[in-house]
């Protein structure tokens, strides 16, 4: 769990930006830039590690969530891994996002990995629940994320 960091407005006020340097740099960003050869594969693999996989279907099941978690653990197929000679490289996504009811299922399925579980709560997608119900749903999501796995 990320407890966060207190907001330090003094630090923000002390930040100085070289505006002309930023403007010069931003003008070059529109120029076409490509990553070549092996570096392209490396950056694509890195991009996978920054992604989350999400299932927010109204008919989600524990089994669907477990399948998604398996994909999160192994997002690149074995034949592609072999072709790229990356069989031993630990390529996993950053997180799996599920409805709050499936947090415990996802947590158990991802046990032993560094993959995080993200939850949508508060009556997603409409948020029409009462404030009390939304807060209770958030508390249940957090409790499920903190609970030790019972597998």
pLDDT digits (tens, 9 = 90+) for 43-80: 889 999 999 999 998 899 999 999 999 999 999 999 99
The pLDDT tens digits for 98-118 are 998 899 999 999 999 999 999
Task: Give the CATH number of the domain where residue 96 resides.
Answer: 3.20.20.70
Q: Which of 40, 46, 112, 99 is nearest to 75 (CA)?
A: 46
Judge whether 80 lies within some domain: yes
Domain extent, residue 54, equals: 37-146
- If you search the block for the tokens 């008919």, which residue do you land on? 59
Kindly report the pTM of this predicted structure.
Answer: 0.68
Judge whether 31 lies within some domain: no
Number of domains forming the structure of the chain: 1
How far is 136 from 39, CA to CA, in rounded Å?
46
Cβ-proximal residues to 120 (8 Å cutoff; 6+ apart), any chain:
56, 97, 98, 99, 100
């Amino acid at each position: 769990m990320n407890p966060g960091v207190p907001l330090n407005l003094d630090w923000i006020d002390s930040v100085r930006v070289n505006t002309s340097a930023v403007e010069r740099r931003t003008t070059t960003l529109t120029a076409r830039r490509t990553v070549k050869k092996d570096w392209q594969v490396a950056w694509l693999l890195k991009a996978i590690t920054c992604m989350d996989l999400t299932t927010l279907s109204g008919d989600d099941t524990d089994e669907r969530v477990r399948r998604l978690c398996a994909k999160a653990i192994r997002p690149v197929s074995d034949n592609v891994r072999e072709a790229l000679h990356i069989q031993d490289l630990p390529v996993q996504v950053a997180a799996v996002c599920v409805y709050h009811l499936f947090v415990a299922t996802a947590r158990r399925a991802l046990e032993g990995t560094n993959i995080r579980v993200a939850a949508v709560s508060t009556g997603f997608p409409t948020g029409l629940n009462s404030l009390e119900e939304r807060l209770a749903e958030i508390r249940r999501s957090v409790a499920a994320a903190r609970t030790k796995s019972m597998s």
